[in-house]
Amino acid sequence: LMCLIMNVWLLLIPDWPDSPWCDGIEFDAITPDEQGKQLFFKDGFLWKGFRGPAQRVAESFSGIGHVDAAFRMHREDRTEDHDHVYLFQDEMVFRYFNQTLQDGFPKKVEQEFPGVPCHLDAAVECPKGECSADSVLFFKGSEVHHYDVATQTVKKKEWPEVPPCTSVLRWMEHYYCFQGNNFTRFHPVTGLVVGAYPKDARAYFMTCPNFGHGSGDHKLPLCSEVKLDAITSDDAGKTYFFTGPSYMRLDTSRDGKHAFPVTRMWPEVAGGVDAVFSYQDKMYFIKGDQVFIYLSGAHYSLIEGYPKTLQEELGVQGPVDAAFACPGDHTAHIIQGDQMKDVDLSATPRTVTKATTLRHAKVDSALCGPDGLKLFVGSSYYEYTATSELGAGQVERMPSPITPSMMACRRD
């Protein structure tokens, strides 16, 4: 009898594809788990990651059938809540950690989230810095319910530019509303949509045959072919490298390493950069003989009056090969050929205070952080503990190759 029941149960499982994105499935909910793996829900089924077989939701999350909405809580000041996964079904909410249902759950939605309606369409977390405080955005029809997790207060909004969402995804600090195969990227505070939307998700979120840059023959570059035009870390610990017209975040291992157009984050800087460095709460982009300065944050903003010329802003003439500033220091180190010029960023006007001849004839990019200094030359880098070690008369250092763990590249 049990064998018969199991056989019938297996027959009732739809023939779901292993690549649900490419097959155009409209998901009911999307959320990352505690490890950062994306979970995709449809009816009573679940995919873990962008590829792989479907399984019943109840196999991983006990007590729940279908999922209407889902999100992963961001609340670093409360470990009992942080990184827990919330799944919504009709009038109930379920809370899990490591796929284990937590004590006291399920609960009524209004019991856990006062003022939030039930029968939700979608939900997504919004950490402090991206929203004004740690928050959750709940979507139902044309309404967005902005829930402050600390004060348990709700503000109801309507965003005419954002269509009704069947699921919502926060990824790499950006927010995406999905409708079937299509998505619209929106600002989590204002609901502002910039650019031409909706777009087809299959051309952007994974490799799908015959869809945009997701064509099936796309390959990561060999690590020996990687060349960094610039690299920097801001005060929030976000590390970016730039190559050609693209950039990549290197400190978001849970979300993976993905390349995006520079203009996606810094729209005024088109066609690549020569050098980038961070100082206090600002990021300096050097391109040709111009300097663009952005206020750092979840969303970078160009300071009024910029760009300015290199001479006006830093007291040097171009071109510039690389630039860096060390944490807590007021000096920008500008590298041109085998020369490094030090500029005092605390002085007005800014002028060169020191020049050093380097042991490297050419440097592509440089990064200074708590663990020392790296100079990148081609597909290799050199490590130093201080800028005083960079002079031509100092001890020679052996280069290390760029590896897949550092960048999105593949071994030769």
pLDDT tens across 15-61, in order?
Answer: 565 566 677 778 999 999 988 888 999 988 998 877 778 889 999 99
Ranking 215-229, 334-348, 370-384 by mean pLDDT, the lowest is 215-229
Question: What integer pLDDT is reported at residue 165 of this predicted model?
Answer: 95
Question: What integer pLDDT is reported at residue 16 of this predicted model?
Answer: 60
Question: What integer pLDDT is reported at residue 213 of this predicted model?
Answer: 46
For residues 69-86, one letter each, b for 16 or more C-beta atoms within 10 angstroms of the residue's C-beta and e for the rest, the string is bbbbbbbeeeeebebbbb
Place of tokens 């005419």: 160
pLDDT tens across 262-281, in order?
Answer: 988 899 999 899 999 999 98
Asked whether residue 336 carries a pLDDT value surpassing 70, the answer given is yes
Best-predicted range by mean pLDDT (45-49, 155-159, 197-201): 155-159
Query: CA-CA distance, 184 to 24, in Å (whole number)?
Result: 16
| Average pLDDT for 234-258 | 77
**Pick from 83, 80, 184: which is nearest to 127 by CA?**
83
**Number of CB atoms found within 10 A of residue 215's CB:** 12
**Pick from 247, 289, 296, 291: which is nearest to 272 by CA?**
247
Ranking 77-81, 187-191, 271-275 by mean pLDDT, the lowest is 77-81
Structure-block tokens of residue 322? 């690389």
